[in-house]
Every structure is written in C-alpha cells, then in structure tokens.
Amino acid sequence: MAESLMDIKRRIASTKKTGQITHAMQMVSGAKLTQIEKKSNSYLLYEKRLQETMGHLVANKIISLYQNSGVEQSQDIMSLDHLLKKRPIKKTGYIIVTSDRGLVGSYNSTIIKATLDLLEKNHHGDKSKFTIIAVGGTGADFFKKRGCNIAYEYRGVEDVPQFETIKKLVKTCVELFDAGAFDQLYICHNHHVNSLTSTFTVDELLPISRDVADDVDYENLDNSNKYIIDPSVEVVLQKLVPQYVESLVFGSIMDAKTAEHAASMTAMRTATDNADDLISNLSLKYNRARQEQITTEITEIIGGASALE
Amino acid sequence: MDEKGIFQVNIVTPDGQVYSHHSRRLIARATDGDLGILANHLPIIATLQIAEVRSLRADSDNHEDAIAVNGGYLEFQDNVATIIADSAERARDIDLRRARYAKERAEQQIEKAKEVNDVDDRLRAEVALARAVNRINVVSKHR
C-alpha cells in the first residue's frame, strides 16, 4: 500500500472541492452565454439592416453612374469616402481578439496559432510589415513578448460588450488608418458556431471592400429602386460608413466573446467531468484499501485465536 | 399593406428592435429640417439629427408615439420605414432622472473642456448634452 487510507480520503475531499468550483464556473459561463446569445440575436438584426442600407446606397450611386457613363465609371463610388479608398499596401493592421482571463481551454491558443500562421504566410515574419491591435490581455502579452509592433491594446471587454465602449476602439482604428499607420485592416477572431465548436475567422475591415455592392443586381435595376438621398450621397456616406465599420467590429467582438463564453463553459465541463472520474477512481482505491485492512485484521484475529487453542 | 395609407415603421438599434408598428404618418428631423413621410413615399435615405421621431399609429385615431432617436438615418422603401440609430428610446421608456443627471454632467464637461481648450472633449460633451436634452424634451411633451 503506497497511500494510507487517510491520504486517499484527503485527496477525494480536495478533488471534490475543485470539482465544485469548476462546476460553478461552468454554470456562470453558461449563464453568460445565454445572455450574450440573446443580445447577439437582437444585434444581428441591426447589422443586417445596416448592411442592407449600405448596399442600397452603394447600388444607387452605381446606377446613376452606370446610366450616365457606363460600367467603368461605376467604380468611382469607392473614391467617395476615405474609408472606401484602396491605397497601395505598405503595412497591414490586424485586430486580434483574445480573452483577458485564462481557463478557456484552447480558445486563445487557437487564435494565436492561426494568426501566427497567417502572419507567416502574408509577411514571412517581417515584423515591419504589420501592426497589431490587441483586444484582450492574452494576445497583447503574447505579441508584445514576441517583439511585434502593437499600435493599440484594449483590455477589459465586458462579459456582454456594450456598443459605446467598442466605439472608442473603432475610433482609434479609424484614426490610425487615416494617419497611415496601416493601409488595410483585418480582424481575427474566433467565430462561434455552437457551444462546442468555434472556427478561426479573418475579415477584411478597412478599406471597406466591394462586397457591399456585390448584391447589386444589374439586370433589375430601374428607377423604381432609385432613392432620394438627403442631403447628399457624400454626407450620408460620411455618417453611414463609420457606423458600418463600428457595427462590423462590434459584431466580431460580440461573436468572439460568445465563443469565449462557450469555450470557457466547455473547458469547465471537461474539468468537472475529470474531477468526477478522479473521485470514482479514488473511491475504488479507498474501498479496496479499506477491505484489505479488514481482511488483514480478520486474519490476525483468527491467527491469534487459533494460537490460543 | 392591406389598408390604404398605412405603412410599417421599424426602429432598430444595436440592442435590438425598439419600435415596430403600423403607422399613418412619420415625422423625423433630417439634416435640413423636418421630414414627413406618408405611405407610398418615394424611396429615400436621409440622415437624421438627434431629435424626436413621431409616428401616428394606424390602430388609433390620434395617438402619436414619440421616440427619442440619437442620430442615425432613415430609409424608406416599399412602404417600410427603417430607422437605424446608435440608440433610441420610446417616451415611456425614458428615465427622466437619469436624463437630467446626464444633462448636468454634460454641461459640466463642456465647461471643463472650455477651460482647457479641448475641442474633442467639448464636441463629445455637446453631443451628450444634445442627447440628454432630446430625451428630456420628448418626455416632457408626451407624458
């Protein structure tokens, strides 16, 4: 017997306590997950509407350009706003969304690993070619340690992100973009598929890609689709484009946070399950040891009794 | 829409749909002035000011809903009006005490920003003030 009965008993007690803690953490993450999922759903509606309007506006501009001067001119829409304009790419910015806390399983390592692969592929490890905007402490610390250029770091994203707080981050990004800190901006985050899986996703954020105009159905365009734009396309775009960028970033962070809660929940559930397994193994061991002790005692008593006869 | 002169009004914010009703007339404040919309209006996209939006309900003769909208814009197409804004509150949901507090705070911030000549801060505080004043106006008019 390597371990005494008392030792095993102590181990069972401590494992039980740890299991209780991880179980509680699982419940907390689960509650947060339902909360954020609810908010995500109402937010998706907003994002969809915004995207639709953006599409309509761009389509509208394209129609009038198309009718006036043919298809080549319709490319001109992209020069209307500084956030739409494509510039020669000297430097690329990456927003990397990680978690602030640990205990989220492979959530952070997935993002960091995939991002490193991406950086290697796009820039062959040349650190002067990219800048990082880190959302969440884990990513910030990691890339800082590696000596990457971090333009901005943002810690302390709420459990259920608020639109107002994300706005500041977006404002900084747009300012950096305008100042030429980078010529295009990607956002890397974990996309929440369901509570067990999430996938790494990279979206191009700035300059706003032509995707918004891709839905335009050139065949069915006629004047019935033509909008009155008040006061002018330029002014509306000036207001709409930042709102659109904000919504994209907020959507990604929301998605990432949902994935984080899900990952945390799964990790804690695994931990609880492991604790349960450990406890049942230890109980078995404990009972065996106890029985062995009883058997020894009985043999001793019988031995003692027979010696007296 | 089945009935004549009625159209749908949706107000959407990042926190979800704030308002969704049938309406007979919608009045919003666009950049250059008030904008009234009736059914079968031509498609329009207009940016809005921080102001009140009023919608005449289709299911009553003279009941008008008031919503405090913080900027954003309005899109109207196929008898559906959609207002997309950072935030919007119906008159009945506005917390008057909080709005008054926000107004005071914004005023203090403007003073402070003026002292140190911080243009960014002043502009931000002015927007906050406009929002608070808008909320207070909407409540006092409709409650």
- The residue extents of the domains of chain B are 7-91, 95-142
The residue ranges of every structural domain in chain A are 34-266
Residue contact A230–B46, C-beta within 8 A: yes
Query: Which of A133, A141, A146 lies closest to A205, judged by CA?
Result: A133
Chain B interface mutation, best of A57, A230, A240, highest count of B Cβ atoms under 10 Å: A230
Query: CB of A225 within 8 Å of any CB in chain B?
Result: yes
Considering only A4-18, A80-94, A256-270, B25-39, which range has the smallest mean pLDDT? A80-94
- In whole angstroms, what is the distance from residue A62 CA to residue A67 CA? 8
Contacts of B11 in chain A (CB under 8 A): none
Q: Which residue has the higher pLDDT, A65 or A223?
A: A65
Q: Are A229 and B44 inside 8 Å of each other by CB?
A: yes
Does domain A34-266 match CATH 3.40.1380.10?
yes
A63-72 contact pairs (CB < 8 A, 24+): A63/A221, A63/A225, A63/A226, A64/A226, A66/A218, A66/A221
Structure tokens at B90: 């119906």
Residues in B touching A247 (Cβ below 8 Å): 14
Residues of B in contact with A41 (CB under 8 A): 16
Residue A137 has pLDDT above 80, yes or no: yes
Nearest to A227 among B10, B45, B86 (CB): B45
pLDDT range class, residue A179, cuts 50, 70, 90: confident
Phi-psi region at B53: left, alpha or beta (left = phi > 0; alpha = psi -120 to 50): beta
pLDDT digits (tens, 9 = 90+) for B85-136: 988 888 888 888 888 899 999 999 888 888 888 888 888 888 888 889 888 8
CATH level 3 topology of B95-142: 1.20.5
CA-CA distance, A51 to A212, in Å (whole number)? Answer: 7
B54's tokens: 């009023």
Nearest to A45 among B12, B31, B77 (CB): B12
pLDDT band at B1 (very low <50, low <70, confident <90, very high): very low
Check the CA dihedral A148-A152-A158-A162 and report its sign: negative
Distance CA A113, CA A118 (A): 9
Q: What's the sign of the alpha-carbon dihedral A16, A17, A19, A24?
A: positive
- Contact indicator for A168, A229 with CB cutoff of 8 Å: no
Q: Which residues of B touch A56 (CB under 8 A)?
A: 45, 75, 77
Residue numbers in B near A251 (CB within 8 A): none
Task: Say what the pLDDT of residue A278 is.
Answer: 95
| Per-residue confidence band for A276, with pLDDT thresholds at 50, 70 and 90 | very high
Q: From the CA of B96, how many Å to the nearest CA of chain A?
A: 20
Among B53, B48, B59, B50, CA closest to B24 = B59
pLDDT in the model for residue A147: 85
Q: pLDDT tens digit string along A54-68?
A: 877 777 776 666 666
Question: Is the link from the previous residue into A242 a cis peptide, with omega within 30 of 0?
Answer: no
Specify the pTM: 0.81
pLDDT-based confidence at A31, cuts 50/70/90?
A: very high
**pLDDT the model gives residue A292:** 92
Q: Which amino acid is at B55?
A: S
Question: What gap in Å lies between CA A14 and CA A304, rounded to an integer?
Answer: 39
pLDDT tens-place string over residues A262-274: 999 999 999 999 9
Identify the residue whose tokens are 């339902």.
A34
CA angle, residues A165, A170, A171, in degrees to nearest 5: 95
**To the nearest whole number, what is the mean pLDDT of chain B?**
87
* Chain B: residue whose CA lies nearest to A250: B14
Nearest residue on chain A to B16, alpha-carbon basis = A42
Chains A, B: CB contacts within 8 A come to: 82
What is the 8-class DSSP label of residue A180? T
Q: What CATH superfamily classification does B7-91 receive?
A: F0F1 ATP synthase delta/epsilon subunit, N-terminal (2.60.15.10)
Cα–Cα distance measured from residue A200 to residue A223, given in angstroms and rounded to the nearest whole number: 42
Do B45 and A229 make contact, defined as CB atoms within 8 angstroms?
yes
A window 247-286, beta carbon within 8 A of B = 247, 250
